[in-house]
């Protein structure tokens, strides 16, 4: 009887944890800052409240957790074995919300970059590659593209 919370209550807790500053988010923002980029955190006037809002580049950066945002083909985007219906609903809501945000951003001419958490985690593990993710971000900022995920 160590855990008396229902699965719903537990996942509600998890969804709250999700919206806080995660380690990969902090790590990525630190790297951006070191490269001279200035951003706003969780800008509430921008659709989806991006993790980093680069006003100068009209670019919204989101660090997406692979599990919650269903990173396609990623090992972290597994399906829990129990309460499959509950999770499927939850994931569908998340995915629909993400698509809505993407449409809103593109409609206002804002560039949107999704950085998957597994990409950041890989960079965090291999410190000598830590610039690689920032190089990719810079490449996107310079490009004429409106949307990219890395
Ligand atoms: Zn992933």
Strand ranges (E), the chain: 52-54, 59-64, 111-116, 147-149
Is pLDDT at 12 greater than 90 in this prediction? Answer: no
86 CA from centroid of ligand 1 (Å): 21
pLDDT in tens, 27-68: 999 999 999 999 999 899 999 999 999 999 999 999 999 999
77 CA from centroid of ligand 1 (Å): 7
Close Cβ partners of 81 (under 8 Å, ≥ 6 residues apart): none
17 CA from centroid of ligand 1 (Å): 18
34 CA from centroid of ligand 1 (Å): 25
Of the candidates 115, 104, 26, the one whose C-alpha atom is nearest the C-alpha of residue 66 is 115
pLDDT in tens, 105-134: 999 999 999 999 999 999 888 866 678 899
Cα(134)–Cα(113) distance, integer angstroms: 12
CA quadruple 93, 133, 111, 144: dihedral, nearest 10? -140
104 CA from centroid of ligand 1 (Å): 24
């Amino acid at each position: 009887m160590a855990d008396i919370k229902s699965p719903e209550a537990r996942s509600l807790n998890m969804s709250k944890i999700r919206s806080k500053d995660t380690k990969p988010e902090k790590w990525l923002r630190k790297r951006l800052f070191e490269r001279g980029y200035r951003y706003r955190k969780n800008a509430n006037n921008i659709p989806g409240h991006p993790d980093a809002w680069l006003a100068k580049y009209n670019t919204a950066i989101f660090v997406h957790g692979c599990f919650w945002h269903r990173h396609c083909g990623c090992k972290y985007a597994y399906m829990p074995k129990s309460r499959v219906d509950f999770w499927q609903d939850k994931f569908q809501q998340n995915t629909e919300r993400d698509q809505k945000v993407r449409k809103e951003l593109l409609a206002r001419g804002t560039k949107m970059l999704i950085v998957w958490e597994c990409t950041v985690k890989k960079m965090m593990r291999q410190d000598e590659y830590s610039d690689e993710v920032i190089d990719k971000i810079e490449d996107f900022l310079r490009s004429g593209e409106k949307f990219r995920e890395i």
